[in-house]
Structure 1
Amino acid sequence: MSNTSPPPSALRKMVRILDRIADACRIVTGVALVVVTVIFGWLVFGRYVLNATPTWVEQVALLLVMTIAFIGAAVGVHDNTHLSVSLVRSAVPRRVRTALVVCTDVIMAGFGALMLVFGARLTMFKWGSLIPLIQVPEGLRSLPLTIGGGLILMFSVGHLIRLCVGFDERKDSIE
């Protein structure tokens, strides 16, 4: 549902803020990916060259992979590149297509809200114990789930707002 008039300034500001947040998420996940690569290189070097396996690498890598997965998934929601089946959407009339897009955004927002709420509960529950070998709070393992859920909720609501105002510019949604 595209409108020919320019979007309201509040909507443009919201879009800019969401875009900046998504850019920051891309930077975080990119840095996490580089760090995972470097520490696994150190693991291989330590194991086969030094004969001293750095045991902390696996625990840190798990935290980084959680960050990459959940924050990266949120960026996928923002960019509309998350896994979806567009065959049915493409084959139905525009009104039904719009309803399907709204349903998808509502479901994604609900899923993000559940991730946020239950991820926060898990993070708080586990915060008091430490991860062996690296001695950081166990709650850090589920913190990316919580943050990713909040981001998915926020990006999905942003899509719904743009759709309701008539300025949804996502491709393959409402063409």
Structure 2
Amino acid sequence: MSEFPDPTAVRGPVYRAFDLLARICMTVAGIQLVFLVAIFGWLVFGRYVLNDTPTWVEQAALLLVVWITFLGAAAGVWTKAHLSIDFVREMLPMPVRVPLRWIAVIGVIIFGCYLAWHGWELAEKTWKRRIPMLGMAEGWRAVPMVICGVLSVLFSLVHLAALARGEDPLEF
């Protein structure tokens, strides 16, 4: 048995709900990744065995990659596993480190708002067009931007509240 408590047991219902939401994002992205591998397997089989290349695979793959990327990025904001250069900040003295943590979280909130807003505009403007070979609305390529932006803002607001309580965000 581990000597460390389960972090979800220590945290409240908001933390557990957002943790579940991030896990759902990663699960959906993982399932989509399995589909991505499967359709590329079908592409190779169709091209080299059947001599009949399935032309829809490229467009489906592009759509899946966008969804996988943005769902994974949103979950990364929650788990603080996203791309960041925090080791430089964490080497600085505490009086400098704390304001930089605030700035980083606020920056993610601003970026998330921007991503959600412009993702929504992009989805709205492209909804009437169809993705070639799939027949789906082109706006489905922008929907994950909106989801990622909204989730990034929500997750970062929880991180901001933790900072306001004086909690170490690296331990969050």
Q: TM-score, normalised by structure 1?
A: 0.88
How do 1:82-97 and structure 2 match up within 5 A? 82-97=82-97
1-structure distance, mates of 2:103, 2:111: 12
Residues 111-151 of structure 1: CA distance to partner in whole angstroms, max 9, x if unpaired?
A: 01100000001001111111111101010011111111111
Residues 22-62 of structure 1: CA distance to partner in whole angstroms, max 9, x if unpaired?
A: 01001110001000000000000000000000011111111
Question: Would you say how many aligned residue pairs link Structure 1 and Structure 2?
Answer: 162
| Contact 2:109–2:153 under 8 Å retained in 1 | yes
**Could you say what secondary structure the match of 2:129 adopts?**
coil
Q: TM-score, normalised by structure 2?
A: 0.89
**Could you say what secondary structure the match of 1:134 adopts?**
coil
Letter of the 2:63 counterpart: L
**Larger RCO of the pair (alpha carbons < 8 Å, separation 6+):** 1
| Contact 1:128–1:137 under 8 Å retained in 2 | yes
| Counterpart in the other structure of 1:36 | 36
| Counterpart in the other structure of 2:112 | 112
* Runs of at least 5 residues in structure 1 that lack an aligned partner in the other structure: 1-10
| Counterpart in the other structure of 1:152 | 152
* Runs of at least 5 residues in structure 2 that lack an aligned partner in the other structure: 1-10
Cα drift, residue 86 of structure 1:
2.5
Identity of aligned residues (%): 43
Change beyond 3 A, Cα 1:87–1:167: closer
Moved over 4 A (4+): none
Asked if 1:68 corresponds to 2:68, the answer is yes
| More moved, 160-169 vs 27-36 | 160-169
**Could you say what secondary structure the match of 2:12 adopts?**
helix
| Counterpart in the other structure of 2:24 | 24
Asked if 1:134 corresponds to 2:134, the answer is yes
